[in-house]
Amino acid sequence: MSISGEDDQTPNATLPDKLPVPEHVQDAIRTLIRWAGDDPDREGLLDTPSRVGRAWREYCQGYDEDPSLHLSRTFEEVGGYDEIVLLKQIPFHSHCEHHMAPIIGHAHIAYLPHNRVVGISKLARVLHGFARRLQIQERLTAEIADCIWTHLEPAGVAVVIQATHACMTARGVRTPGVGMTTSRMMGVFRDDERSRKEVLSLMGLG
């Protein structure tokens, strides 16, 4: 198996579009449609409650998994490699816990290994495990970094997330084109300025 192996599958293998949607969930969505000013019984909206219900199960699949499990298998035979491991521009989507509006962005995740590394796909799986929940960007950033720090015990962790928030671009202040950046630095990336500059430069943010 390669170091970037794809042997595991995301938990909850049942496809969301095959899941039955409880009637009380569909009723809640019909109520929202009426409150918004439309008729849930018109032709175009008849199947909307079940579609929306299944969509939200898919959006929130992260509640059905423990992201740290993706870091349980590590590799120690790395040929003496002891430099930064970085995964750049990982696309993700989440939903704001305040308005349940989309958060769309990408993440840069880096760590400085200490004797062991993890398959690179697992870094993306950790991101998606936390992102597929109701979130705020600040907490998402911290959760990813803390998870890697705790379970890989590296010399350093750096997570930078850049995203746009529909709760700001499509409602409220209605200011499109605005992006939000959050970061969490741990270990050498927090304590050593040269290491922090190096990882930010590799991310294209230096």
User: Would you name the residues annotated as active-site residues?
Assistant: 96-99, 137, 165, 167
Q: 171 CB contacts (<8 Å, ≥6 apart)? A: 99, 101
Q: How far apart are CA 137 and CA 139, in angstroms?
A: 6
By C-alpha distance, which of 22, 39, 21 is closest to 30? 39
Structure tokens at 133: 């929940």
Q: Are 38 and 29 in contact (CB under 8 A)?
A: no
Question: Which residues share a beta bridge with 105?
Answer: 92, 163
10 Å CB burial of residue 35 (0-12, 13-18, 19+) is exposed
